[in-house]
Amino acid sequence: MRTYGFARFAWAPAAIAALALSACGDEGGGGAQAGLKEQDRVMGDPDAPVTVIEYASITCSHCKRWHDEVYPRVKEELVDTGMVRFVFRELPTAPMDVSVAGFLVARCAPESRYFSVIDTLFDRQERLFTAQDRRAELLAVARAAGLSEDEFNACIRDEDQIARINEWSDEAATRYRITGTPGFVINGVVHNGEQPFETFAEAVEDATGEPVPTDSEEESGEAAGMEG
């Protein structure tokens, strides 16, 4: 889990301004009852019994690992089956200029493409760290999402969205006591750090009374079948 100092986020507007200059040269538990924000990006059934809010950063290696190793199963077995409503909230980490600009690009893309842009940014995380021209890397992501260079330049200067990201970052720390990325609020209960599939399966079981098979249970069932 990547921990952060609360003061880091105050520098996000300045970081994005620098990137732009280079271009010139109530959330609780319970499915549909969960009070989400108007600007939240959400996938899954609005009537799902479990709402998962993830706070994560595209420049956080722990977040990438969770998205590579756990998220696909959560999406396939819990989100796509109507058991979980999944919300992604941006919580930038260093390097702040890259993290915030990447989130701004995702926001400027059509809403239906938001999660695919986030996936692309995680896939390109190492390149974003190592590239000599990070702006060019981000511009490539923006173009793939359907944005022109002029739209990209305007996007990364969007002070309203930068202010929103800072506000949500403050809230993550002060309201939910999120201490690092990734962090999760699952039906109102905070879980800091990378969480295994079982954490989400247990939340579904608690909400529905129906068990969700985990890896260990599936392996036990397969072994029993082989013995029979």
What pLDDT, in 10s, does the model give residues 93-135?
A: 999 999 999 999 999 999 999 999 999 999 999 999 999 999 9
pLDDT digits (tens, 9 = 90+) for 12-61: 444 444 444 333 334 444 443 456 999 999 999 999 999 999 999 999 99
* Predicted pLDDT of residue 227: 55
Residue 4, pLDDT > 60, answer: no
Mean pLDDT of 141-158: 97
pLDDT score recorded for residue 214: 78
Question: Model confidence over 159-213: pLDDT tens digits?
Answer: 999 999 999 999 999 999 999 999 999 999 999 999 999 999 999 999 999 999 8
Q: Cα separation of 68 and 122, whole Å?
A: 9
Which residues are CB-neighbours of 169 under 8 A, at least 6 positions away? 9, 12, 90, 91, 92
- Using CA atoms, how far apart are residues 171 and 35, in angstroms rounded to an integer? 14
Radius of gyration of the chain (CA): 19
Query: What's the mean per-residue pLDDT of the chain?
Result: 85
Predicted pLDDT at 213? 83
Residue 139: CATH number of its domain: 3.40.30.10
pTM of the prediction? 0.82
Number of structural domains in the chain: 1
CB 194 within 8 A of CB 62: yes
**Structural domain span for residue 103:** 2-227
